[in-house]
Structure 1
């Protein structure tokens, strides 16, 4: 089976950046522990002047 890379860009509502960041950060370790998960990374960058969070979760099979 081929690898699957899941990429998502999430933009928090103004004032909710910390809530979104905390929620996604809490998912890092459980996601990395999933069978077949080869990595899970969070990236934060400016997107239209507001922070955006980019989770990347490659899964192999």
Structure 2
């Protein structure tokens, strides 16, 4: 039971860290996080998806 809990915490941490550090640099991943994950992650903290929004604002059209 403890191992399962630790695994779930690690997966959630990886999901958040991916949103903060990897997704802003990857256009496809950034789009997915922005439409699907950010509405839920913003409930935890708006700062999690801030790098994604900043990367989108500086993206050339």
User: Fold conserved (TM > 0.5)?
Assistant: no
More strand by share: 1
TM-score (norm 1): 0.33
Judging by fraction of residues, say which structure has more helix: 2
Give the TM-score of the pair, scaled to structure 2: 0.33
